[in-house]
Structure 1
Amino acid sequence: MTKILTPLLGVLLLFSGVYTHAQTVIEGKVTDSSTGDPIPFANVVIKGSSVGSTTDFDGFFKIKGDAESDTLVVSYIGYERKEKRYEKGVSQVLNFQLNPEATNLGDFVIVAGKQENPAFPIMRQIIENKNRNDKRSLDAYQYTSYNKIEVDVDNITDKLREKKFMKRITSVLDSIETIAGEDGKPILPLFISESLSDFYYRSEPRLQKEYVRNTKITGVGLEDGSLISQVIGSSFQQYNFYQNRMNIVDKEFASPIGDGWRLLYDYELQDSLYIDDDYCYLLEFQPKNDQELAFTGKMWITKNEFALKRIDVTMAKTANINFIEKIKIQQELDRTETGPWLPVKSRILVDVAELTNNSAGFLAKFYSSNQNLQVTKPKPTSFYERGIELAEEAVTNSEDFWAQHRHEKLSPTEVNVIAMIDTLNNIPFVKTWTEIMKTAARGYVEVGMFDIGPIPLTISGNNVEGWRGRLGGRTNENFSKKWQFNGYGAYGLDDKKWKYGFGAKYIIDRKKWTTISANYRTDIDQFGVQVNPLTSIAEGSAFIALTSLGDLVRPFYYDRAQVEFARQFSRAFSASVSLRNQNFTPLFDFRYRKELNRVDSPLGTDFTTTETIVRLKYARDETFLINDNNRISLGTLRWPIFMLSYTRGFKGPINGDFDYNKVDIAVSQTLKMGFWGNMSYQINAGHIFDEVPYPLLTAHIGNESIVYTDIAFNTMDFYEYVSETYGSLKLQHKFEGFILNRIPLIKKLKWRLVGTGSMLFGGVSESTLAVQVLEDENGNPLPQFGTLKPSKPFTEVGIGIENILKFFRVDYVRRLTYLDQPRVRKSTIKVSFDISL
């Protein structure tokens, strides 16, 4: 028996070995030729057979088996099909790079009849089960997040290569081909970052926090500063398709599984298949209106839960959005132990178009991987006070550390990117231009421990000072992370007066952002621009720059000393208290009674105020970033901002001339209205409780320039009205493409409609009017001010077109009340320069 079995076993082993050796195994990766990014979910099959596979989220595939054909075919929606020959009976690696299709997808064909579109029952089940599957239904969850961002220059034309400045980096450009691959397009990398963080969420109240543990940044002219380290994490890569509208590049995109799915999208059921252990329906979709902010793509829906398992979407090229050629989002989700699904991998591509035929474009690529997903109990609300918190020693450049902690290793392309950026940083020409660009963005020139500027204020001119030169600066974080000193000096050629200022700020606590500051200034200003303590206009704003040139409106010199303490008590609540002493020296005809209630009081021109100002602010979901020694607010997402200010003026103790009490309140919010656009409103009100000279009342800001601004009343003259008691409402509704996108010829222009309206109630009491001086000491009439009737508001409405040639906005504003005033402008046309996506 043994003699028979031994040769038989040998024969079987021989045939087994031959069979094993003859089996075909093909593995590889499918990538986008224009970006180098992997293409997940692509179909990879042997031509004319059913032997095949799909790529995973990272673009990899593996096929085992044989067929009659020796050709492998790769295809995916939005890309040109590609074929390659393979060798039978061996293991081999075949990589594919697919070219994006030049044309859009054709329309879905919907056949009329009694039979319902088979995709619709699935869609209804998705909507019915949204709350059960949406991660927002969890009380709390947390995970570890690894994030990677890369920014590149793409579409580098031959003509651009011939430019003089580009020839200086020819040695780098010659090696670009190694980044994109054999079929890829050349790109020039500018930035790549990695971060590792812990992300936390709770639903009631809805709060989130990211603790950034480690970061690594490699960029042209960039350092791993605290600001950049805070924005490369998971907080800015949250994409939830269960929301009806998703905020992407500050635009509201309609989700294909939003409640309005049937109005906005067409659907087609393509297939059903297993993904891991989940049996899924494959649905394709595209927007009904090609200019809608919506997506074309595919999604895989689980049969049992009707949950989103995978999704791959691309913004339509014809969508009404500026400067963006393509937005692509790919996401894979896993079920949590309690039911709702959390994203485990996300990849986002934003392709910024070339501004001109001779310029290049940009690619921004984001990758996020989440592990250790945990459904937890909500942490105390105090835990979420800092929405983004950076570890003390977050910068970790050790390659050993990142090799151990990355959720996936760097691709050869990304390794080449890092090497090329290091090479670019050592080119003198690149160093020079990156410093120039940094200066333009900051407004300051960094010189070691000091920032010199602001640059835009260096040279200016007006009717009082003539040409004015200014030189100033401040210390930066290289000097100290606790102390910041600032100062400036200025001189007017006509008034021959020096103006100057200096100050200091001490950061007591960065976590609760507690500061104390003191400053002194002697300078010139114009009346009525910075009166309201809640709506003071920033010094460097475009409106201030415009109104400070040419003829100043009721200008005055001032000397001001101020001390302020400010603290962020919680994520929502902050407060400040300041003590201010200011001298007012008018350069226009003005008199006041030194004893207000005496008609025979001696008259004065200059006066001094001593004030204590308390400001309170409540902003429920406001997010902040720490930028070196300063803090930047990113605003709120869903809740209004409430502000209250109380001003107490003192007479006597520190040379103050008046006693008074003043209260101001403000409420503002931007409402994301999805399909209908965005509406912003601002409500202001205030009252001064004591009789004072009119420069201490509230002067409402008019606008006599040709430039539109939402800061002012655009049909009101400068200093036309002053109020003791006031209340105002400003509205602006940006319809985006809601109306004009539906007009056949107009929609090609991609214009967007804007509606505006302003209403102001105000007035001055008889007792306050009685203390005003109407004539000077010689009986000559003095310039006066206008007052509103309490029962008759100042009202104006407007309609505008924005996105004209992508950069301009034109508004027609009509004044509806107080039309009988002298020099009144019943209507006006304003223009503005507006860069928006």
Structure 2
Amino acid sequence: MRRDVANVFSGPFILFTVLMFGLPWLSQAQETTISGKVTDANSGDPIPFANLIFPGTATGATTDFDGNYEIRTTHPGDTLVVSYIGYTPRKKAVVKGKKQVINFQIVENTQSLQEVVVLSGENPAYAILRNVVKNKNKNDKRKMVAYEYDTYTKIEIDVDNITESFRKRKVIQKITQVLDSIDRMAGEDGKPILPILITESVSKVYYRDNPSLRYENILRSKVHGVGIEDGTTVTQLIGSSFQEYNFYQNWVNIVTKDFVSPIADGWRLYYDYDLVDSLYIGDQFCYRLDFTPRSPQDLAFTGSIWITKEGYALKQIDAAVGRQANLNFIEKIKIQQELEPAEGGAWLPVKNRVLIDVSEVTSFSTGLLAKFYTSNKNFVVNKPHDVNFYQLPITMAEDARMNEQEVYWDSLRHEPLTPTEKNVYKMIDTLQTIPMVRTYIDLFKIAVNGYYKVGKIDVGPYISLLAINNIEGVRIQPGFRTNINFSNKWVLGGQLGYGFRDQRIKYTAQVQNILSRQHWTTLTVRARSDLGRVGIDGETAGDNFLLLASQRFGYFRRGYYTQEGRIDFRREVFKGFSQRVGFRYFTFRPTYAFAYYDNPEDLSASTVSQNFESAEMILEARYARDEVFLQSDNDRISLGTTRWPIITVRYTRGFKGLLNSDFDYDKLRLSLFKRIRLGPLGTAYVDLMGEYIFTDIPYPLLGLHLGNQTVLYNSVTYNLMNYGEFVSDRYATLQYRHYFEGLLLNRIPLLRKLKWRLLGTANVIYGGMTPGNRALIAPYTPSGEPTLPVGYFNKGPYVELGYGVENIFRFLRIDFIHRLNYLDHQQQPNVPVRKFGVFISFQFQL
């Protein structure tokens, strides 16, 4: 009996014991834990927001911004599948009940996207997007009074698409050992890449509104690249200022092109949308919308956005531009961004990742991968600094480029380097030790910079080394300048030329002192003895050194020899506003038939002269409110303005009797340059200028408008005007260029694949010459030779209009230009007036 009772209670007791103590242990033993990373097989970059799931179940995960995921489940399948828009799905086997690491490398799907199924009723995505636009002013970071944050930036540039034929080249055979290790870096399914640059920087970024100003202070930087010196230019470029993209703007500027945002005000004109999911991302419940451009050739994105249900803010975005877009040399652009709300309601980006895949220029070359990553933290909002605090857009700490130990950089990084990134540093060190690689690097620098660096001296520029014209014959002109290794305050330079026909020595010598880098201030002294062409000098051509060099070739119809001395003082008084004070003395010795009356009021008693001397002072003020500059060693490079025009006012005063100067005169010039973004209509450039000369002086001192008698198009000149055809002492000019991008030709089926782009141009001059200046022109030289005639406007404005096609074979541009008036203008004998012209030019652009 006792045994029976024991048997009765022993079964339930054992069952109870198993249920209470055994099942948790059993459950833990059967739990499957999978972690890993999803990356792009081509670039090696992580893929955030990718979906992983066990087929036939609801169990899965989504990768974070760095491509990582983790799944814990007691009911796994035996296969895990990863998928993401624009990529081919990939599956791998899973071992149940174990902890394991499964990494995926997935390949981009180049096939066309599936058709969108349109159902009756309104697309549910439209209501969400209307609310996104409605709440832009609340969520856009630009609505904040001010914000600042710490940022870490990392850039890597790699050579990709390395073919077997490329490996067989001599220079590449020298680095075979390095290339052999690339396969190990690429991963099981990745393509081999060759890293050539990796940079890191830590900065403090400040922004304030009203006025809109931005300032970045680069505290630390680390530049490691093949042939890249850790100069100030590279350090400034690797900061976060050039890796910022705000999709709340209607147009996002990337590599000089404007792309329409998927949440632009006119979103419905450019994109198709699909509401595909709703899920929690952190604490935010979000809608996921996939979008595709209505026209694949437009500068628009394909990808996904995650919009918060509360406030309709942009939480995450993954946007890509593919090879179908009307771009040159670009296989893909990919931007991934994660945002978080700040105090005051606006959303600020906490992480950004950008990939630019550059295709091969030729079938014998490789491509490039440029990868940018930024991480932002420690936000402070609505505490603006004084306006003067934002004086310079980018500055660099004096010790920013010190090579700290790796342990120190580990404390600066927001995330540690991956093993692959650590290996990149080692590979770049190996490449830099190969002699042939260093030789190719030197040749590339000469092609880009125009100078060859030899210690503290740069030899060049090569562009002006040789010229051929009718006066000098063959001209050679070597030159040099000192670099920052010589001094960071003094810049010495010079050129020495010789013409084999005129057998004259020409020279230029220049000394510049950089008085201040904070408020960029320079004092420059120059002496020159050279051959010039009337109407073309440093004052009219500005910084267009290519134009100045090209004008030394061909036939000099109005050439002259000159001795010149110049002193220039320039200073940026405050952000965007700079002033210049200059003094210039020069002589004029013509090589052509030129003469003027010394006393035009009494021609019978006046003598006729050919030569003159002039001494003048120049006062100039220039305002470019949002212009961005980079300080490149001892140079300052302008990156142009974003929204505001560049306005320049110049007053020139000539002093008779000073240094034997022959004339008193006054000139006043006003110019305005503006880039206008017109959204879907493309981009326009407007250049307006007006000048008034108050005194009667010989016409070489007046405004001689630049003509062009070549077949090469030049945006600075009037292309159907002959050299020296028109001279003015008062005038207003308009030069207008409009680039339609692919606006019209993208809609024509047979032409869209060619990626041609339409453009339009207009050049207008309204000017004239007073009777007093016309009376100064003598009909004969002192030797009795007839002088070269001078033309002026007397029948209204001069107008030439053009249209053309660019991007032919990706490099060629053809312009068709019509001259609308002064068609019977016989100012120059035996030189016909061209009513129509076809011009070509070569350009390298995206």
- TM-score bracket for the superposition, by shorter chain length: over 0.9
Q: Give the alignment partner of residue 839 of structure 2, picking from 821, 825, 830.
A: 830
The equivalent residue for 1:709 is 714
Distance 1:390 1:413 in 2: 29
Q: Does 1:672 align with 2:677?
A: yes
- Within 1, Cα distance between the matches of 2:788 and 2:543? 28
1:42-90 Cα deviation digits (max 9, x unpaired): 1112232111110000000011013252111111111111111122222
* Contact 2:76–2:96 (Cα < 8 Å) also in 1: no
Map Cα deviations across residues 422-478 of structure 1 (whole Å, 9 max, x no partner): 110011111111111112111011010001111121122111111111111011100
Deviation at 1:11?
8.2
Mapping of residues 146-295 of structure 1, within 5 Å: 146-295=152-301
Partner of 2:5: none
Which structure 1 residue ranges, 4+ long, deviate > 6 Å from structure 2? Answer: 3-11
3-state secondary structure, aligned to 2:39: strand
**2:21 & 2:486 partners in 1: Cα distance?**
76
Q: Which residue type is aligned with residue 841 of structure 2?
A: S
Q: Secondary structure, in 3 states, of the residue corresponding to 1:421?
A: helix
User: Match for 1:685: what amino acid?
Assistant: G
Matched, 1:109 2:117: yes
SS at match of 1:417: helix
What secondary structure sits across from 1:825 in the alignment? Answer: coil
Matched, 1:817 2:794: no
The alpha carbon displacement at 1:309 in A equals: 0.4
Is the contact between residue 318 and residue 337 of structure 2 (CA under 8 Å) also seen in structure 1?
A: yes
- Shift in Å, 1:781: 2.3
> Secondary structure, in 3 states, of the residue corresponding to 2:177?
helix
How far did residue 553 of structure 1 move? 2.6
Helix, strand or coil at the partner of 2:446: helix
Aligned to 2:387: 381
Letter in 2 for 1:623: V
- Pair 367,459 (structure 1): closer, same or farther in 2 beyond 3 Å: same
Give the match for residue 574 of structure 1.
578
Aligned to 1:56: 64
Which residue does 2:665 correspond to in 1? Answer: 660
One-letter amino acid of the structure 2 residue matched with residue 56 of structure 1: D
C-alpha contact 2:171 2:437 (8 A) present in aligned 1: no
- In structure 2, the residue matched to 1:308 is 314
- Which one-letter code corresponds to 1:34 in the other structure? N
Is the CA contact 1:641–1:668 (under 8 Å) kept in the aligned structure 2?
Answer: yes
**Residue 422 of structure 2 corresponds to which residue in structure 1?**
415
Aligned 8 A contact 2:593 2:786 in 1: no
Partners of 2:609 and 2:25 lie apart in 1 by 110
Q: Give the whole-Å Cα distance in 2 for the aligned partners of 1:433 and 1:787.
A: 52
Secondary structure, aligned partner of 1:357: coil
Instruction: Report the secondary structure of 1:705's partner residue.
Output: coil
**Out of 773, 778, 792, which is 2:796 matched to?**
792
Residues of 2 paired with 1:546 and 1:566: CA distance?
27
Q: Report the CA distance between 1:747 and its aligned residue.
A: 1.7
Aligned: 1:805 with 2:809: yes
CA distance in 2, matches of 1:317, 1:129: 33
What residue number does 1:519 align with?
Answer: 526
In 1, distance between residues paired with 2:296 and 2:461?
Answer: 44
Which runs of 5 or more residues in structure 1 are unaligned?
none
State TM-score, norm by structure 2. 0.96
Equivalent residue in structure 2 for 1:447, among 424, 447, 454: 454
Partner in structure 2 of residue 649 of structure 1 = 654
2 CA distance for matches of 1:71 and 1:763?
83
For 2:7, the equivalent position in structure 1 comes to none
* Distance in 2 (alpha carbons) for counterparts of 1:90 and 1:598: 109
Report if aligned partners of 2:59, 2:76 keep a CA contact under 8 Å in 1: no
Give me the identity figure in percent.
46
Secondary structure (helix, strand or coil) at the match of 1:141 reads strand
| Aligned-residue offset at 1:263 | 1.1
| Cross-structure match for 2:348 | 342
Query: In the TM superposition, what is the alpha-carbon distance from 1:779 to its structure 2 partner?
Result: 4.1
SS in 2 for 1:814: strand
Can you list the C-alpha shifts for 1:496-525, whole angstroms capped at 9, x where unaligned?
111112111111110001111101011111
- The equivalent residue for 2:437 is 430
Q: Structure 1 residues 223 and 9, CA, compared in 2 at 3 Å: closer, same or farther?
A: farther
1:675 partner amino acid: P
> In structure 2, how many angstroms separate the alpha carbons of the residues matched to 1:553 and 1:378?
59
The CA distance in 2 between the partners of 1:752 and 1:51, in whole Å, is 49
Which secondary structure does the structure 2 equivalent of 1:175 belong to? helix
Aligned residue for 2:746, secondary structure, equals: helix
Match of 1:22 among 30, 39, 49: 30
Aligned to 2:753, the other structure's residue is in SS state helix
Q: Which of residues 481, 484, 489 is equivalent to 1:474?
A: 481
Which digits, 9 at most, give the CA deviation of each residue in 1:381-439, with x for residues without a partner?
A: 21111001111111143212210010111111111111111110011111111111112
The letter for the 1-side match of 2:236 is Q
The whole-number CA distance in structure 2 between the counterparts of 1:249 and 1:277 is 35
User: For each residue in 1:709-752, what CA deviation from the matched residue of structure 2 results, as whole angstroms up to 9, or x when unmatched?
Assistant: 11011111000000011111111111111111112212221111
Residue 751 of structure 1 corresponds to: 756
Do the aligned residues in 2 keep the contact of 1:597 with 1:771 (CA within 8 Å)? no
Contact 1:352–1:362, Cα closer than 8 Å, also in 2: yes
The separation in 1 between residues aligned to 2:455 and 2:360, in whole angstroms, is: 35
Q: Give 1:119 deviation, angstroms.
A: 0.9
- The one-letter amino acid of 2:257's match is K
Q: Which letter does structure 1 place at the counterpart of 2:346?
A: P
Residue 547 in structure 1 maps to residue 551 in structure 2: yes
Contact 2:610 2:781 in 1 (8 A): no
C-alpha displacement of 1:598? 4.2
Contact 2:541–2:548, Cα closer than 8 Å, also in 1: no
Q: Report the secondary structure of 2:137's partner residue.
A: helix
Does structure 2 conserve the Cα–Cα contact (< 8 Å) formed by 1:723 and 1:762?
A: yes
Aligned-partner Cα distance in 1 for 2:544–2:275: 57
Taking the aligned partners of 1:553 and 1:313, their CA distance within structure 2 comes to 56
Alpha-carbon distance in structure 1 between the residues aligned to 2:619 and 2:13: 99
Q: Which of 31, 34, 39 is the equivalent residue of 2:39?
A: 31
**Which residue in the other structure is 2:3 paired with?**
none
| Alignment check: 8 A CA contact 2:50 2:82 kept | yes
Change (3 A) 1:282 1:539: closer
Q: Distance in 1 between matches of 2:188 and 2:327?
A: 33
Cα deviation digits, residues 118-173 of structure 1 (max 9, x gap):
11111111111111111111111111111111100101111211222211111110
Alignment equivalent of 1:326, drawn from 318, 324, 332:
332
Q: Which amino acid aligns with 1:438?
A: K
Deviations 1:794-830 (A, max 9, x none): 0110111111111011111001111111311111111
* TM-score (structure 1 length as normaliser): 0.97
Kindly state the Cα deviation for residue 5 of structure 1 after the two structures are TM-superposed. 11
- Aligned partner of residue 430 in structure 2, secondary structure: helix
Alpha-carbon deviation of 1:656? 0.8
Which 10-residue stretch deviates more, 98-107 or 28-37? 98-107
* Structure 2: 5+ residue stretches without partners: 1-9, 827-831
Q: Give SS of 2:818's match.
A: strand
Compute the RMSD of aligned alpha carbons: 1.7
Instruction: Check the 8 A contact 1:78/1:104 in 2, yes or no.
Output: no
SS at 2:127 equivalent: helix
Residue deviations 1:540-572 (CA, integer Å, cap 9, x gap): 31x333332121131111110111111001111
Partner of 2:29, secondary structure, is helix
What's the secondary structure of 1:658's corresponding residue? coil
Farther off after superposition, 59-68 or 632-641: 59-68
Tell me how far 1:101 sits from its aligned partner: 1.2
